[in-house]
Amino acid sequence: MKEFFNYLEFTEEIIEDIDTQIENLGSCKIPSPLKHNQNCFVTDDHKITLRVNYTYLKENLRQNKDVPSLELAGPRPYIYFDPSKAKVGIVTCGGLCPGINDVIRSIVMTLYYSYGVKKIIGFKYGLQGFIPKYGHEIIELNPEVVKDIHTMGGTFLGTSRGHQSIEEIVDTLERLNIQILFMIGGDGTFKAAYKIKEEITKRNLKIAVITIPKTIDNDIWLVSKTFGFDTAVQYACEAIRCAHTEAIAVPNGIGLVKLMGRHSGFIAAAATLATKEVNFCLIPEIDFDLEGEKGLLAELERRLERRKHAVIVVAEGAGQKYVQKDPPEYDPSGNIKLGDIGKFLKENIIKYFKNKNKEVIIRYIDPSYIIRSVPANVEDRIYCGFLGQYAVHAALAGKTGIMISYLNDQFVHIPIKEAIKRRKQINLNSRFWLSVLESTGQGILKN
């Protein structure tokens, strides 16, 4: 799985388009209060190069061109903010995901115990928490308040979707004298964070904006793996095993599992590889036909004739050409509302075999809300702890407009503007996806 997590397709066009320059609020002149060995500190000169293919690297060396490098995350020997005076805000936005509370706890504990920052507040219910008209309370955070939140799913601070006034958000930051803002969220949150940072710059304020990537779909660009993904795959596997058990218990049994993945099918594909019980894995990155000799229904019929049972896993964003409303509808965050591909497949499978006078028994499982609401597993919990710690180190050093990323086996700083340029998806020519095809034995499902 390590090859999969580290795999990002860096073409020459993409490499040339990446700006790795990190913005700083000013010079770091305050000695760090961390009692670490000097070897534990890093400076802005510590870089790691992006992994690129050999041909591109060779050509760059021939032309004496540098391969883009990323600033290494970690504690700095000197910091920008005075911890005794700094005031910090934390907000969580978007959908739920295992591990959010672990990140909140890690940020608070590192601020409080490592740096001595005592003024920490949490904004309730996402960006609504900044807007006075909603009347949401502000929570004072300290180790006692957050000590057990990692045992709970969801987000201790609450969340919301939808656009809010950037000007009003920054007004609140000014009014409350916030010097550092941590934003935990996905693509929509990052876009808002970038606008907040731009408004802060416009007003010549010294406020750091640090983001931590949160998306259960694992689709954020320039991040090897997002937190919550491991937990999601683990619970997805349980749903698949249940579907398989139901399918083999009856003649012509079909287990149908719908998993999360609006634009990227990483959860569906990884769970397919992990269980070895899936016969068809449908993801947003590749189209499929329903009807026809090579379509899904005909392939499913042949599978039942051979083995008397089948398991289908479908990502929620797959096959939207069949279920997308015209004109499309949008949620409060501006995302297109997806049609229910799971329900559509169930109904059409039943209809297909009924027209052929063949009896099938289909069990449909959608564990999405269960998966996204559970506490993080052990691996995600450790990962979230690191993310929170590295976010604090970056913030106290005066970094701003950045995302804390795990990329090429290292924690690094990525400009927010780069993270929102594109979306990470499965490369259909990768060893990872080819392994999925080999595991399921499915064809291309296209006529």
DSSP at 80: S
Per-residue pLDDT tens for 297-341? Answer: 999 999 999 999 999 999 999 999 999 888 888 877 777 889 999
Q: What is the mean pLDDT of residues 199-213?
A: 97
Residues in contact with 328: Cβ distance below 8 Å, sequence separation at least 6, in sequence order: 336, 337
Spot the catalytic one: 102, 217, 219, 230: 217
Nearest to 194 by CA among 414, 23, 402: 402
Instruction: Identify the weakest region by mean pLDDT among 103-112, 176-185, 276-285, 425-434.
Output: 425-434
Domains and CATH numbers, the chain: 2-227+375-419 (3.40.50.450), 229-373+429-440 (3.40.50.460)
Report the alpha-carbon distance of residue 144 to residue 153 in Å, rounded. Answer: 18
Q: What gap in Å lies between CA 87 and CA 121, rounded to an integer?
A: 8
CA distances 57 to 49, 51, 60, 72, Å, are: 11, 9, 5, 21
Q: Among 107, 95, 113, which residue's Cα sits nearest to residue 180?
A: 107
Q: Please, are residues 122 and 90 in contact by the beta-carbon 8 Å criterion?
A: yes
Q: Is 217 a catalytic residue?
A: yes
Q: How far is CA 198 from CA 21, 86, 205, 413, in A?
A: 16, 21, 10, 18
* Average pLDDT estimate for 7-22: 69
* pLDDT tens digits, one per residue of 370-423: 999 999 999 999 999 999 999 999 999 999 999 999 988 899 999 999 999 999
- State the number of CA atoms in the 13 A half-sphere of 197 facing the CB: 25
Predicted pLDDT of residue 1: 44
DSSP at 356:
T
Q: Is the pLDDT of residue 12 over 60?
A: no
Q: Is the pLDDT of residue 238 over 60?
A: yes
